[in-house]
A and B are shown apart, each in its own frame.
Chain A
Amino acid sequence: MKALRYSLILISALFYSTFCLAQNSTEVATEQATGMRADGKIYVVIAIVLTILFILIAYLAIVDRKISRLEKENK
């Protein structure tokens, strides 16, 4: 159950990043984003920052849930 949850989070994070990169390439091709934000590959930075944010948040949420379980056991 626990392993399942961990792997789900990891897989969703992976999917998420490929989605962002895919979007990046189409954006450049259709020239929807202009100037520095497309040519400067800023979408790559966003994808990386979001990946880090989501994994850190997931980690915090897991710790949060672990404490909730401990609190229940202690009652």
Chain B
Amino acid sequence: MLLRQTWWKIICIVLLTYTMIAGFLVSVPTIGNLNETIRNLYFHVPMWFTQIVLISFSLLYSLLYLRKNNADHDIYAVEFAKAGIIFGAMGLITGAIWAKYTWGAPWSNDPKQIGAAIAQLIYLAYFVLRNSITDIDKRGRISAVYNIFAYCIYIPMIMILPRLVDSLHPGGKGVKGNPGLNGADLDPAMRVVFWPAVIGWILLGLWISTVYIRIKLVEEKKLSVA
């Protein structure tokens, strides 16, 4: 199983090293008042890609838990969501720093900022809900159902609603296509760093979550033996 294999961790290290070197060195286009801050594309944007991947895994394991009632799947779902929320927090904080120097204020009530913040709160409620239930089976089932709901709110909050209205972020009202995924929009020199960066950060998120999952699995085993 992938959980304990090494090869993808090495790919992660290689890609992130490449990101840190090429990310600062490749020449970037001058767009508006972004100047060199456009390099944040290699750091701020992958945080969100990583969160989406991690919470998608969390959703998958919540569904598996509801289907198979295997307590391990509950652990997987929670730990993926936990790592996901960390990456979401990093996305919000890095976004605020970037906004301070390009949009003038760390928080401009941009639709995407608000949507992303609400999405994080919805995921935080997942942990509040979980920790308020003492019965293990009930906790697993209720939080798995809530997790599915949270995912279904997260995606519109972060991907759909901000694009229906005017936004400071790329891809607001009137802009065609997905600015993050539309290859033609992104400068070719930036593309060769951006995609490796995204994959590298995603792999790092997966690595951190699998480490936490394994810790929990060992703890659980110890408890069941004792």
Contacts and interface: CB of A to CB of B under 8 A. Distances in A.
The answer to whether A binds B is yes
B108 interface: no
Which range contains the number of A residues in contact with the other chain? 10 to 19
B215 A67 contact: yes
A68 B126 CA distance: 29
B214 interface: yes
A46 interface: yes
A50 B18 CA distance: 10
A51 to B, nearest CB: 10
Contacts of B13: 57
B78 to A, nearest CB: 17
B127 interface: no
B9 A36 contact: no
Contacts, number: 41
B4 interface: yes
Interface string A36-59: 110000100110011001100100
A60 interface: yes
Contact of B20 (A50, A64, A67, A70): A50
A54 B16 CA distance: 10
A60 B208 contact: yes
Nearest to B26: A37
Nearest to A68: B4
Interface string B195-226: 00000000000011001001100100110000
B21 A74 contact: no
A61 interface: yes
A51 B17 CA distance: 10
Interface string B172-207: 000000000000000000000000000000000001
Given A57-B13, A71-B214, 20 more contacts: A37-B24, A42-B24, A42-B25, A46-B20, A46-B24, A46-B25, A49-B24, A50-B17, A50-B21, A53-B16, A57-B16, A60-B208, A61-B9, A64-B9, A64-B211, A67-B214, A67-B218, A68-B4, A71-B218, A74-B222
Interface of A: 36-37, 42, 45-46, 49-50, 53-54, 57, 60-61, 63-64, 67-68, 70-71, 74
14 contacts: A37-B25, A46-B24, A49-B24, A50-B17, A50-B20, A50-B21, A54-B17, A60-B208, A61-B9, A64-B9, A67-B211, A67-B214, A74-B218, A74-B221
